[in-house]
Structure 1
Amino acid sequence: MKWLDDLMDEQREDGALPGIVPTGGWGYAWGNGPAWDSALILIPYYLYLYTGDAGALTRCYDSMRRYVDYLERNSKKLLIPFGLGDWVPAKTETPADLTSTAYFAIDAEIVSLTATLLGRVGEAARYATLAKNVRSAFRSAFLRDDGTVGPGTQTAQSCALFQDMLKTPQKDPVFQKLLERIAQDGDRLDVGILGAKYLFHTLSERGSHELALNLLTRTDQPSYGWWLEQGATTLWETWDGNASRNHIMFGDVSAWFYKQLAGIRPDPSVPGFKRVLLEPKLSPRVPEVRAWHDGPYGRIVSEIAQKPDGLEWTVVVPPNSTAIATIPAPSVESVTESGIPLREARGVRVRTVREGAVTVALLSGRYQFRVKR
C-alpha cells in the first residue's frame, strides 16, 4: 500500500497523475496517460483478483474515481487524445488515442465494480454506463466494417480483442485481420510494450497458440530470442537494445507462461483463487510444463507431460477452494483420474464436453488426469 499511497499523494486535485512517482513536478504534461496512470486502478484490482482482499480497492476508490472523472472531462467525445501509447514499437506506431481510450473503458469498469463492493449503487451504475459508452465511442471511431481497427497494426487489432472493446459478432473479423497483418509483417513481431501484452494472449485464447509460440521463439530481431542471443539476462526497454537494459517493459510474457502454457488463472467472479480456472494450451513444441502459484488458500499446481500415447496432467487444488478445469481430451471416455474413469472419480464432476475439451468441476485435492490418445 505504501506505493499506492505515494501514487495518490502525487494526484492533483483535478485528478491528473504524473508519469513517474514520486515526482518533483515532471510528468503531468508528458510521459503519462491512461496506459501508465491506470496503475492507480489496475494494481488495486489485481490485488483483489489474486488475493480476494478488496482493501486496496476501497482505500483507493476516491482517487480512482477522480482519475476517471479527469479522463472524462479531458476526453473528446469519450476518446482520450493524449498519453504515451504503444511505447517503442518494433516498427509501426499505433495511435495513442486508441490504446488510451481502451484503458479509459477498463478504468471506468473497475471503478463501477469497486462502487458495487462499497454499496454505492448510483455510482456503480454511472461508471458502468460510462464504460459502455466509451466502448461504443471506441468502435465508432476505430472499427471499420471489414474488421480493421485503426491503422490495422498488430497492437490495434489485439488491443480491441484483449481489452474487450468489441461486440461478439465483431470479434472474428477483427481476429482474422490480426492474422493477416502478422502474415503481412512476415510472421514477425511489430508491437511495443502494450501490444506485447495483448498479442500473445489474444493468439493463444483464440486458437492460434502455435503462432504465438512461433513469434515468441524467433531469434531474429525483433524478438525475445534475439535478446537472449545477444547475452541478455534481463528484459530490455527496446527491441533493438539501444536504451535501458534493465526494464520490466516487455515483462507480461511471464504472465502468458502461467495463464496459457500452465493454464492457471483466478476466476474474476470468485476472486482470490477461491475458485481456480485451469485451461492449459498444448503444443508438441512444449511437451512439459510445470507451474505453481501460491494463492491465499495454498499452492495451486499444474504439471503437464505430453507423451506418445497421451497426456498426463497433475493438478492440485488447495483446501477450501474449488476449480474449473478444462482437460484437452477428445471425449470423457478417453480420460481417467488416478486410473479411475473420469465420471467415477472422487471430487470430479463433468460439466461440459465440446470438441477437443472436457470441462470438469473439482473439489480441493490432488488429481492425476491421463488422456489416452
Structure 2
Amino acid sequence: MPTNLRTCDLTNPLGLETTRPTLSWWLTKGPQTGYHVRVDGLWDSGEVESADQRIVYDGEPLTSRTAATWRVRVRDGEGRWTGWSPEARFELGLLDATDWSAAWITHPDWYDEAGDPRVGEGHPLPLLAGEFTPAKPVTRARLYVAGLGVYVASVNGEPVTDAVLEPPYSDFTRRVTYATHDVTALLRDGANAIGLALGPGIAHVFPHQDRYMKFFGSQAAPKAIAQLEVGYADGTSERFGTGADWLATEGPTTRSHWYGGEDHDARLEVAGWDAPGTDRSGWRPTTVRPDGTDLLRARACPPIRVTEELAATEKLVASDGTAVFDVGAVVAGWHELRLDLPAGQYLRLLPGDQLDAFGRVIQSKPTTGAPIFSTYVTKDGPQSWHPSFRYDGFRYVEAQGLPEHVGAEAVSALVLRADNNQIGRFETSDPLLNDIHTIIDRAVRGNMYSVLTDCPHREKLGWLEQAHLLFDVVAYNYDVAAYSRELLVGIAEAQTEDGLVPDTAPEYVVFDGAFRDDPNWGGALVRMPWQIYRWYGDTSAMERHYDAMRRYVDYLTGKAEDGILGYGLGDWFGLDQTTPVPLVGTWGYWRAARTMARVAGVLGRDDDAKRYRALTDTITSAFTGAFFKGERFGGGGQASEVLALDMGVVPDELAPAALDRLSQAVLEGDITVGEIALPALYQVLTRAGRHEALFGFATSTSHPSYGYQVRNGATALTEAWDGPTRGLSQNHYMLGAIDAWFYRGLGGIGQAPGSNGFRRLLIQPAAPGDLESVRASTGTPYGQAGVSWQRAGGEFALEVEVPPGSSAEVRLPDLGLERHAAPTGAVAVGDRAWEVPAGRWTFGASR
C-alpha cells in the first residue's frame, strides 16, 4: 500500500499557489512497475506503466480555493495492483490579486503617507481587532492572513496557528508571504473576533542609540491584511476582511527591534482585546493603507515553530549578585519567564552565549552584537512572557532586577527553527564524534529560520555561501525539499538587473565590494537548483530559475579576464594567507559554469550545455595557466591544492603527492583552509579513500579541531576553530562540513554514479582507526535509508536498509579480512561488492 502521500513535498498543505502540484508517495514494499492516481473530481491518470513515485498533476485547471483529495495505487513486479492508499489532501490559496477583498490596515500612529522610515518609533506596538457575525452555522472557514514585519493572528482569543515569526523573510517590496489557516473549530455561533498584533520585524529596522543594530532601514512599516471566508451548509459563503470598520489600540509591547531587544509592560495588557464583545470605545479607527494585494504570495514551505523547550538547568549568581540562568545549550529562540510577583517589578534581560570571569553575560559586537536586552515590567500574580516579534541566540539569560527568592524554574528556552522534519540520525561508538555531530546539528538548527542565517544574534541575514556549500549537511539531517525551493525564490528576487547575485538574500542591506559580490556566495543561485535535483530528483527549481542562473554565469563571464575571476573574499576565515583571492574566485566561477552545463543537459538545452561545457574548459585551462607554479598551485598552501584537486587539474604524476601532503596535514590537525575550501577538502579526501586522515582530524582535541570546541565547552558549533576560548559567534555552522563525511564516509550512505533522488544508493562505509560501530540513517524520496555496522574480535557485520523503490550497491571496507559473506539475493559485482534491491540486508566479514 502506498504511504506518505505528499503534495509539493508537504503533507496535506493549505494555500498552495501552484496550479500543477507535484504528487509523491512512498512504497511499503517494492518494486513498483505502474501507478494509478486519482484526484477526486479533477483528474484520473489511468494506469500508467512507470516506476515513478513523483509525478505532476495533469488534470483540470486548478483555480483559487480548489480543495482536493487524492489517492494512489501501484502495481508490483508481478503485475498485481494494490488497494487504494489512504486519502491525502491539498488546497489552493488565492491565486489572483482580485481574490482579495480585504485591505491592508494599521494603527494611525504607524502610518505616514510620505513613507517616513522612522514612522512608529516611540509608539507601543499596535493591536488591531475586528468583529463579525456569520449569518448561518459555519461548516468551513479559512483565514488568509499576512502582516509586516511580524504578526500574531488570533480568532476569539485563540492563536490560529503554532507558526511564529510570521511572515518569512522576503523582499517585502516585491513579495509578501501570506498563510492559509483552517479556523473552522475556532468559530462560534453569534459574534466572533479576529485579532492581529503587529511588530516591525526585519521589514522596519529603525535607527536607535541605546541598542545594537546590524543595519537600519525600512522596506515596510507594520501593517496587516486578513480575509476570513466561511462556508455554510447550504453551499453559500461569506467573507469578512480587514478594512475601515476595524479598530486599533496600543498594546503592552512598548518597543521591539529585530536586533536590539523587546520591551513589554504587562500592566498595559488589554484583557480580551481579541475576544468578541469587548468594549473598544476608547480605540481608534484603523488606517486603511493604499497598498494593493498584487505582492501577496502563498507560503510554500514549513513555517518557524517552537520545536523544543529547555528548562534552565540552574540559576547562577554573578559575583555582584546578578541572577544568570543557564538553559544548558546554545540555542536560538525565545527566553520565557514564568513568575509570580507583584506589579511594577522592572526586569532587564540580557541574552548571551558566554559568561565573563565575574559570571555576567558577555555581549560584544564581534560575538553577539551589543548591547542586546529586553525589558519586562510585571503585572500582579502568576504570569508568563516571552518576546513575540523577534528572537535571540543565547545559552544564558542575565536577569537584572529579579528578586533573590526566584529560582531556576522561572526561565526556560523556547527553541525555534523552520519546522523541516528531522530525518537524519548518526551515532558511533566514539562519544567525541557523537558530540561533534550534536554541536553541528545544534548550529544548523540555530540558523535554520525562514532563511539560512550564519548566526542568530548579530547577523540574522541570509549569507548564501553556507546554503550551497553545506547543502548536504542540512539535507542529510532535515527534509528541506520544499524549504530549499523557497530559499531559491528569495535568492532569485535579490538578483540585480545586470545579473549579479548579492552575497545576502534578501538583500536588506547593500554591502560593499566582495561582501556583496563573490561567486562562492552568489553561486548559490546556480548550485542549489542542481543540488535539489540531485537530492530529490526534482527538476522544478532548475526549470523555474534557469534564465536567472544563466544570467548569473554570464555576469561572471563579463567580470572575468581571460577565464580568471580576479576578485572576491577568497577562502574566508582561512589560516593560510598565501591562497590567492583570484584562485578561489575562479574556482567558484568554474563550479558555476560546470553546474550550468549539467543543468542545461538535464533540461535538454543542448546548445547551452555545449556552450557552458566550452566555458568550463576555458576556465579550467586558464586556472592551470595562471596558478600552476612548478609542482604546486597558487602559493602552495592547502586551499590552493584542495581546489586544484577538486577541479581535477593537478597532473596525474603529482596528484598522489598532493593527496599525501593534505592527508598528513589533516591527520596531524594542521588544517589551514577556510570555509570555502573546507567542504572541498573533505570531498577530495573522501573520493581518494583517505578516511584514516579524516578520522584522525575528527578525533583530535587540539587546536584547530572540532574536538577542541567540544572539550572547551561548546554546545553548538562556533564561528572559529577556537571559538569557545576566543569568542566570536558561538552558534555558527559554516565549519560543519565534516557532518556530511559522518553520513557519507563513516555511514557510507551515498548515491551511485548517475543516480538522482537516491534512486540507486551506494553503501560504502569506512571503518577507520579504532572505531567500533556506526549507526546512520537518512530520509530519501523513497523512504528511510539506513546503515549499521559493528566490528569486534576480527569480525565485521554490516546491516543495510534500502527503501522500496530504490536499489543499492553495497561495498564492504577493506579490513584485511579473508572471508566475506553476503545474504541470499545479493548479486556479486566485484571484490567485496554486491547489488541488492530494496529490503534489509546483512553482510559480514571475518578472518
Q: Please report the TM-score for the alignment, with normalisation by the length of structure 1.
A: 0.89
| Alpha-carbon distance in structure 2 between the residues aligned to 1:330 and 1:307 | 12
| Alpha-carbon distance in structure 1 between the residues aligned to 2:718 and 2:703 | 13
SS at match of 1:193: coil
Q: Tell me how far 1:5 sits from its aligned partner.
A: 1.1
- Deviates further, 287-296 or 323-332: 323-332
The residue number in structure 2 matching 1:352 is 830
Distance 1:115 1:302, change over 3 A: same
| Alpha-carbon distance in structure 1 between the residues aligned to 2:785 and 2:696 | 28
Distance 1:235 1:221, change over 3 A: same
**What amino acid is the match of 1:226?**
Y
The residue number in structure 2 matching 1:276 is 761
Compare the two structures and name the one with the higher strand fraction.
2
Q: Tell me how far 1:298 sits from its aligned partner.
A: 0.9
Aligned residues: 359
Residue 240 of structure 1 pairs with residue 714 of structure 2: no
The residue number in structure 1 matching 2:626 is 141
Candidates 730, 735, 739, aligned match of 1:254: 739
Distance 1:13 1:362, change over 3 A: same
| Alpha-carbon distance in structure 1 between the residues aligned to 2:792 and 2:817 | 19
Q: Tell me how far 1:273 sits from its aligned partner.
A: 0.5
* 1:219-368 map, 5 Å: 219-241=701-723, 242-329=727-814, 334-338=819-823, 345-346=824-825, 348-353=826-831, 358-368=832-842
| Alpha-carbon distance in structure 2 between the residues aligned to 1:315 and 1:292 | 10
**What amino acid is the match of 1:142?**
F
Residue 71 of structure 1 pairs with residue 556 of structure 2: yes
- Deviates further, 137-146 or 57-66: 137-146
Candidates 15, 24, 37, aligned match of 2:522: 37
Consecutive unaligned residues in structure 2, runs of 5 or more: 1-484
CA contact (8 A) 1:94 1:156 kept: yes
CA contact (8 A) 2:773 2:791 kept: yes
* 1:79-98 map, 5 Å: 79-98=564-583
SS at match of 1:30: helix
The residue number in structure 1 matching 2:682 is 200
Distance 1:260 1:335, change over 3 A: same
| Alpha-carbon distance in structure 1 between the residues aligned to 2:539 and 2:587 | 24
SS at match of 2:721: coil
| Alpha-carbon distance in structure 2 between the residues aligned to 1:159 and 1:274 | 29
**What amino acid is the match of 1:271?**
N
**What amino acid is the match of 1:361?**
E
CA contact (8 A) 1:17 1:28 kept: no
**What amino acid is the match of 1:17?**
V
The residue number in structure 2 matching 1:342 is none
**What amino acid is the match of 2:488?**
L
Q: Tell me how far 1:218 sits from its aligned partner.
A: 1.6
Q: Tell me how far 1:276 sits from its aligned partner.
A: 0.7
Candidates 149, 153, 173, aligned match of 2:637: 153
Residue 56 of structure 1 pairs with residue 541 of structure 2: yes
Larger radius of gyration between Structure 1 and Structure 2: 2
Candidates 4, 8, 26, aligned match of 2:510: 26
Q: Tell me how far 1:92 sits from its aligned partner.
A: 3.7
Q: Tell me how far 1:19 sits from its aligned partner.
A: 1.3
SS at match of 2:798: strand
CA contact (8 A) 2:576 2:637 kept: no
CA contact (8 A) 1:152 1:177 kept: no
**What amino acid is the match of 1:101?**
T
CA contact (8 A) 2:494 2:502 kept: yes
Distance 1:40 1:268, change over 3 A: farther
Consecutive unaligned residues in structure 1, runs of 5 or more: 339-344
Identity, % of aligned positions = 31
- Deviates further, 11-20 or 168-177: 168-177
Distance 1:161 1:270, change over 3 A: same
Q: Tell me how far 1:81 sits from its aligned partner.
A: 0.8
Compare the two structures and name the one with the higher helix fraction.
1
Q: Tell me how far 1:268 sits from its aligned partner.
A: 5.0
| Alpha-carbon distance in structure 1 between the residues aligned to 2:757 and 2:559 | 35
Q: Tell me how far 1:131 sits from its aligned partner.
A: 1.0
Q: Tell me how far 1:257 sits from its aligned partner.
A: 0.4
CA contact (8 A) 2:817 2:846 kept: no
